Amino acid sequence: MSELRKDPIIDRWVIISTERGKRPNDYKDIMEEKRTQDCPLCEGKEKSTPPEIIAYREPGSRNDTPGWWVRVVPNKFPALGIEGEPLLQQHGIYQTMNGVGAHELIVESTKHEPGLDTQTEKQVEEVIWAWRDRSLDLRKDSRLKYIQIFKNTGPVAGASLEHTHSQLIATPLVPVDVIQELEGTREYSSRQGSCVFCDMIGQEIAERERIIYESSHFLSFNPFASRFPFETWILPKGHQHDFGQVEEEKVRDLAKVLRTTLRKISVMIKNIPYNMVLHTSPVNMREERHYHWHLEIMPRLTIMAGFELGTGYFINPTSPEVAAQALRETEEFYPLQDGSIKEVYRYV
C-alpha cells in the first residue's frame, strides 16, 4: 500500500507510491523511455485495463467489451488504493497516513486520438458527465475528503498514455493548494462580503482584456496573475461551490466552452502540452459555500525550475493580455488528413 507522508514543516503531503515503485536503477534509461505501441485504452482492448467502474455504453452491450463511448477504469498503477482506514501515525517528529483513496482513469474516446479538442461537442459533454458521476459516487465514501479531477496531455505534461484520457484521484485529506484557495476565498468573503471568483468575473467582463470566450454560463479567460503562458481558467458565471451540483444545461454549455478553448489553444500551438485541473469544494466536511469551482488549464511551454521550486513564485514571459488577444484571434482551423478543411470558426 502507498503511504502518505507529511512534510514536518509545512502542510504538504507526499504519496510514497509502492504500486508505481521504482528502484534507483529504473531511472538510468528514463530519458529513452518509449511509449508502448499497444494502447490499452483503444476500443477492443477492454481486457487490457482493470474491469470498468462505469461506462456509457449501448444498451445490451456487455461490460469490458466494445459498445461504450466513455469508460472509467481503475488506474492500473494507482497512487492511492481503496482498502483500509486513513490512520494518522506519528514516527518521532514525522507523520504518515495509509495511502487510502481512489485513482481512476476516464477514457475520453474509443479512438486513439491525443486530445479532447478533436472530440465532438457531444463527446466532451459525455466526459464532463463522467467526471460528475464519479464525483457524486465517490463522495459516498466518508473516508474521502477531496476528489481531484485532472488531465495531462503530452509527455512533457506527464501523460504516459497518448490516448486521450483524464484522471481522478480521491484523497483522504484536503490538499494544501485547495486549503490555501479555501482560506483565500473565505478571507476575501469576510472582508468584502462577496466571492472573489464572482468579483473576478465581473472585472474581467468589464475590462474584456483577458477574455478568450464567453457563453451564457461560462467565462474562459487568461487570469491576471497567469503562472504559465496561455494559462486559461474557465469559471461558471453564476456562483456555485460544488462541481457535483452542476446542472444539465451548464454541462452542455461547459462542453462547448471547454472544447472551443482547447481547440483555440491547440491551433495556436500545435501539440501543446498541458495540464488541466478541476478545483472544487471538499466533500464529507463542512460545506465551503464561499468557494467557486473552476477549471484551470496550464500549458507547459516553460519549465518550473529552481526559482519556482524554491519560492512558489513563477516567471511568465507572456502576459495574459497578449495571450488572450492571440487566442481570441485564433480560428478553430482543423485541416483533415486529406488536406481539406473540416470546420472553420472565427471568434474575434
Site string for its own copies, 60-89 (x = CB under 8 A): -------------------x----------
For residue 127, the SS3 value is: helix
Binding to its own copies (CB under 8 A): which residues in 229-268? 229-230, 268
Catalytic: 217?
A: no
Compute the distance between CA of residue 118 and CA of residue 109 in angstroms, rounded to an integer: 10
Q: Which stretch binds its own copies (CB under 8 A): 46-54, 127-135, 137-145, 165-173?
A: 165-173
Asked whether position 161 contacts its own copies by CB under 8 A, the answer is no
CA distances from 342 to 110, 261, 336 (A): 20, 17, 6
Residues 270-329 binding its own copies (CB under 8 A) are 270-271, 275-279, 296, 298, 301, 303-307, 309-320, 322-323, 326
Touching its own copies, residues 5-64 (CB under 8 A):
5-17, 20-24, 27-28, 30-31
Minimum distance of its own copies from residue 76's CB (angstroms): 14
What's the residue count for the chain? 348
Q: How far is the CB of 80 from its own copies (least distance, A)?
A: 9
The separation between CA 149 and the C-alpha centre of its own chain, rounded to angstroms, equals 5
Which residues between 189 and 208 bind its own copies (CB under 8 A)?
196-197, 199-200, 203, 206-207
Nearest approach, Cβ of residue 229 and its own copies (Å): 7
> 100 and 173 in contact (C-beta within 8 Å)?
no
Shortest CA distance to 174 belongs to which of 244, 251, 97? 97
Q: List the catalytic residue out of 91, 103, 112, 165.
A: 165
Please say whether the beta carbons of 198 and 239 come within 8 A: yes
CB atoms within 10 A of CB 264: 25
The CA distances from residue 187 to 63, 174, 287, 339, in Å, are 47, 18, 16, 54
Identity of the residue, 26 or 287, whose beta carbon is nearer to its own copies in the bound complex: 26
Residues 96 to 155: which contact its own copies by CB under 8 A?
146, 148, 150-152
> Which residues are identified as catalytic?
165
